[in-house]
């Protein structure tokens, strides 16, 4: 695929109270035509500033913005307006004008592009059919739900047949069910109209639902990028790990601690085919160990799975032989997953700081599923991960 957007070593520096603040630092991104590209990170990471350089709402202090192979960084006047007419923008806060109708809100975009008024009504009706709001053409924004207002915002952004659509936290003000509807609409816009979408979010569920590729930002720097599945399935940077841990990590209620037998506590991060294998039952069947599954979850990126498990591996026999088979079982577990770490050597008298981080008070922690703390012993319960 051909790159439609290239950000080449882009930096953005603001002057504030006599000092320079670098909001974006030497960021480089290649976005292919027709894909949905995500930019994620915690608040203040520089995501919005970076995306606003694409349509030059923020002009880079250094570096280049290349659209369709053309360096547009220095565009001004008529040339800049023409560039922006081909780039739609969807805002978190909808940015609709309250005292005019839905049709009139969309018409503003058509007027700005000098579309003849005689063509407005047909185009507005076409856009509202696309977003599923034909019956709201003469309604006012105050008469619409949040999801409906965002659909109008998307219709307005698409009014002039843009090839690129920028979405700045377009779902963060919406409830989960409404968010799903907006994401489904954007996927349809991408698939049916071929519009390249660049989407800023801090919502992990959005990232895994629609992004083809993703860049992770922290303090103005792109710290990691690649396919969404690869970046979140095998995170390398601490910021990416923190994002994954926040949404795919698990918390174990403290009330389970007294019930746990001695053993070695292991966190497993697994992905793709490995997430679907009956991993625990296989290892239990081949080694003389019991495995307590304390908690776990699985997230899907399209049809590809990424999951986290916390397991306690215990010997069935005492002494050196027991320790040996526990180590062998752990080696087998870790060889079949994307990532693993040991959280504790034992859970007898001292939990330890690294382990304590995954435990939570019942009032705040994630409660275990029905099979939490049930021992895998031989072939027992092998269906849980089958």
Cα 158 from Cα 252, distance rounded (Å): 46
Residue appearing with tokens 């090839």: 163
Q: What is the CATH number of domain 3-245?
A: 3.40.50.300
**Close Cβ partners of 145 (under 8 Å, ≥ 6 residues apart):** 178
Which pLDDT does position 252 carry in this prediction?
65
Would you tell me how many other CB atoms lie within 10 Å of the CB of residue 6?
Answer: 17
pLDDT-derived band at 384, boundaries 50, 70, 90: very low
Averaged pLDDT score across all residues of the chain: 84
Cα 9 from Cα 29, distance rounded (Å): 8
Q: Could you report the per-residue pLDDT of 270-320, keeping only the tens digit for each?
A: 876 655 568 888 898 889 899 988 888 887 887 788 888 888 999 887 777
| 358 pLDDT higher than 60 | no
Write out the two tokens for 192: 């049916």
Which pLDDT does position 248 carry in this prediction?
72
Which pLDDT does position 360 carry in this prediction?
42
Cα 235 from Cα 248, distance rounded (Å): 12
The CATH superfamily holding the domain 250-385 is ACT domain (3.30.70.260)
Q: What percentage of the chain carries pLDDT values higher than 90?
A: 57
CB burial readout 268-277, b (16+ within 10 A) else e = bbbbeebbee
> What is the mean predicted confidence (pLDDT) over 199-207?
91
Q: What percentage of the chain carries pLDDT values higher than 70?
A: 84
> What is the mean predicted confidence (pLDDT) over 255-263?
72
Which pLDDT does position 304 carry in this prediction?
82
DSSP conformation letters of 236-297: -SHHHHHHHHHHH---EEGGGGGGPPS-EEEEEEEETHHHHS-HHHHHHHHSSEEEEEEEEE
Q: Where in the chain is the domain with CATH 3.30.70.260?
A: 250-385
Write out the two tokens for 224: 């990691």
In angstroms and rounded to an integer, the radius of gyration of the C-alpha atoms of the chain is 26
> What is the mean predicted confidence (pLDDT) over 163-192?
95
Q: Where in the chain is the domain with CATH 3.40.50.300?
A: 3-245
Helix extents (H) in 158-220:
176-193, 204-210
Which pLDDT does position 341 carry in this prediction?
82
In contact, 250 and 308? CB cutoff 8 Å: yes
Q: What is the pTM of this model?
A: 0.80
Which pLDDT does position 337 carry in this prediction?
85
Write out the two tokens for 39: 């930019």
Residue appearing with tokens 């997430």: 275
Which pLDDT does position 75 carry in this prediction?
95
pLDDT-derived band at 35, boundaries 50, 70, 90: very high
Which pLDDT does position 276 carry in this prediction?
54
Cα 373 from Cα 10, distance rounded (Å): 50
pLDDT-derived band at 349, boundaries 50, 70, 90: very low
In contact, 11 and 22? CB cutoff 8 Å: yes
Residue appearing with tokens 């939990």: 351
């Amino acid at each position: 695929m051909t790159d439609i957007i290239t950000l080449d070593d882009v930096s953005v520096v603001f002057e504030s109270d006599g000092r320079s603040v670098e909001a974006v630092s030497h960021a480089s991104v290649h976005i292919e035509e027709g894909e949905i590209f995500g930019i994620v990170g915690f608040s203040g990471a520089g995501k919005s500033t970076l995306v606003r350089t694409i349509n030059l709402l923020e002009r880079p202090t250094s570096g280049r913005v290349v659209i369709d192979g053309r360096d547009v960084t220095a565009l001004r006047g008529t040339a800049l307006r023409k560039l922006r007419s081909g780039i739609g923008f969807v805002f978190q806060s909808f940015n609709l004008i309250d005292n005019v109708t839905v049709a009139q809100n969309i018409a503003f975009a058509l007027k700005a592009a000098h579309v003849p008024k005689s063509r407005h009504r047909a185009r507005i009706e076409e856009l509202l059919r696309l977003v599923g709001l034909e019956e709201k053409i003469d309604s006012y924004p105050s008469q619409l739900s949040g999801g409906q207002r965002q659909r109008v915002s998307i219709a307005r952004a698409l009014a002039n047949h843009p090839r690129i659509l920028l979405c700045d936290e377009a779902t963060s003000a919406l409830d989960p069910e409404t968010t799903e509807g907006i994401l489904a609409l954007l996927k349809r816009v991408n698939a049916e109209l071929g519009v390249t979408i660049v989407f800023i979010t801090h919502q992990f569920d959005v990232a895994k639902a629609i992004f083809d590729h993703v860049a992770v930002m922290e303090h103005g720097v792109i710290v990691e990028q690649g396919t969404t599945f690869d970046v979140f399935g095998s995170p390398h940077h601490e910021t990416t790990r923190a994002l994954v841990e926040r949404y795919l990590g698990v918390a174990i209620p403290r009330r389970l601690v007294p019930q746990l037998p001695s053993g070695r506590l292991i966190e497993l991060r697994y992905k793709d085919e490995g997430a679907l294998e009956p991993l625990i039952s296989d290892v239990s069947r081949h080694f003389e160990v019991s495995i307590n599954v304390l908690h776990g979850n699985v997230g899907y990126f399209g049809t590809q799975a990424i999951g986290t498990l916390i397991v306690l591996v215990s010997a069935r026999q005492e002494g050196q032989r027991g320790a040996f088979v526990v180590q062998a079982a752990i080696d087998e577990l870790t060889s079949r997953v994307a990532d693993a770490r040991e959280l504790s050597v034992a859970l007898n008298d001292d939990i330890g700081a690294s382990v304590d981080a995954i435990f939570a008070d019942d009032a705040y922690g994630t409660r275990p599923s029905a099979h939490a703390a049930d021992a895998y012993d031989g072939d027992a319960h092998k269906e849980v991960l089958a």
